[in-house]
């Protein structure tokens, strides 16, 4: 029986054809692809809650345009309720890469994801934090640190030819980290996201959040749903990586197991 997956995109540029090919490699999944704001409409209406899993590669709630002010907005009450209804229904969610920057004006959403990427300095868990950092198009190595259904079948270490590591808050006290990044440990190696957006010029980060982490994949639970975040996914080369495709397949299978087995049956599973 196929896993019904709703894939969401929009709000951030991406390689459309590479993403299409990546979705085609998610064997065993019946994928419906919606671009924002259509995805939000499906969440508001409750239709999204009928899917086994969401694959979020979107970035709603924030508008980022080079050499323009960064604009943010909070979701309306109907959209918040739609998300809560979806999580109560046990629909699993896999967040990819820049989805971590979604809804910065809605703190509850960062808690759902297990962290947040800040395009500009902001308050996280009651404390001020600087804008988040990034390094664009660099080779990355990853280390699997926990045996889990999401990481099964992956080598202990694997590489991606060119992706984009983040320097941003991760709530390690409320997530289970499965994969960590190797290298890129110095905050000075990362570029300021806010400065790049506002000026079009690159400048090292002014500082690092006290919540920064080398976590690259983690899991958590929210209401009746399982949540996975995968930090890679910046460009087409990662979407063609067998390791990244395998990781995504595992993640979708794990988050959708609650719907397949029933929330009570799956509650005690890893």
The count of C-alpha atoms lying within 13 angstroms of the C-alpha of 248, restricted to the half-sphere facing its C-beta, is 29
pLDDT over 70 percentage in the chain: 96
What average pLDDT does the segment 23-46 reach? 97
Lowest mean pLDDT among 56-70, 207-221, 255-269: 255-269
How many Å apart are CA 52 and CA 2, to the nearest integer?
10
pLDDT band at 92 (very low <50, low <70, confident <90, very high): very high
Q: Is 75 helix (H, G, I), strand (E, B) or coil?
A: coil
Residue 91 has pLDDT above 50, yes or no: yes
- Mean pLDDT taken over the chain: 95
Q: Are 39 and 10 in contact (CB under 8 A)?
A: yes
User: What is the mean pLDDT of the segment spanning 153-182?
Assistant: 97
Determine the pLDDT at residue 1.
Answer: 78
Helix, coil or strand: residue 267: coil
Closest CA to 254 of 181, 178, 180: 178
pLDDT for the residue 268: 39
3-class state of residue 91 by DSSP: coil
- CA nearest 39: which of 58, 63, 26? 58
Predicted confidence at residue 161, as pLDDT, reads 96
Q: Which pair of structure tokens corresponds to residue 90?
A: 């046990």
pTM for the full model?
0.95
Q: For the chain, give every domain's residue range.
A: 3-266
Correct CATH for 3-266 of 3.30.413.10, 3.40.50.880, 3.40.50.2300, 3.30.70.1380: 3.40.50.880
- Categorize the per-residue pLDDT at 266 as very low, low, confident or very high, splitting at 50, 70 and 90: very low
pLDDT digits (tens, 9 = 90+) for 108-128: 999 999 999 999 999 999 999
The three-state secondary structure class of 120 is: coil
SS (H, E, C) 123-191: EECCEEECCCEECCCEEEEEEECCCCCCCCCCCCEEEEEEECCEECEECCCCCEEEEEEECCCCHHHCE
Q: Give the model's pLDDT for residue 265.
A: 37
pLDDT of res. 208: 84
Asked whether 212 and 201 are in contact (CB, 8 A), the reply is no
The pLDDT of residue 270: 60
Query: Residue 77: pLDDT above 50?
Result: yes
Q: How far apart are the C-alpha atoms of 9 and 44, rounded to whole Å?
A: 16
Quote the percentage of the chain above a pLDDT of 90: 93
Helix (H) or strand (E) holding 214: none
């Amino acid at each position: 029986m196929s896993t019904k997956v709703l894939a969401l995109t929009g709000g951030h540029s991406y390689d459309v054809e590479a993403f299409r090919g990546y979705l085609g490699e998610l064997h065993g999944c019946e994928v419906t692809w919606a671009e924002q704001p259509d995805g939000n409409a499906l969440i508001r209406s409750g239709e999204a809650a009928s899917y086994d899993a969401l694959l979020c590669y979107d970035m709603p709630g924030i508008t980022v345009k080079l050499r323009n002010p960064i604009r943010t907005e909070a979701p309306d009450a109907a959209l918040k309720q739609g998300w809560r209804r979806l999580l109560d229904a046990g629909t699993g969610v896999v967040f990819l890469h820049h989805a971590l920057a979604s809804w910065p004006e809605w703190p509850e959403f960062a808690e759902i994801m297990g962290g947040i990427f800040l395009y500009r300095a902001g308050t996280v868990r009651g404390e001020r934090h600087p804008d988040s950092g990034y390094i664009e198009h660099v080779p990355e190595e990853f280390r699997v640190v926990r045996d889990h259904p999401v990481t099964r079948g992956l080598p202990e270490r694997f590489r991606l030819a060119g992706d984009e590591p983040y320097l941003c808050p991760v709530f390690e006290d409320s997530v289970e980290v499965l994969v960590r990044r190797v290298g890129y440990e110095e905050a000075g190696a990362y570029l300021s996201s806010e400065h790049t957006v506002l000026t079009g010029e690159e400048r090292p980060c002014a500082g690092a959040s006290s919540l920064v982490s080398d976590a690259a994949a983690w899991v958590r639970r929210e209401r009746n749903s399982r949540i996975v975040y995968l930090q890679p996914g910046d460009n087409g080369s990662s979407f063609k990586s067998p390791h990244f495709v395998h990781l995504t397949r595992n993640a979708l299978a794990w988050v959708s197991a609650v719907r397949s087995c029933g929330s009570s049956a799956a509650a005690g599973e890893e």
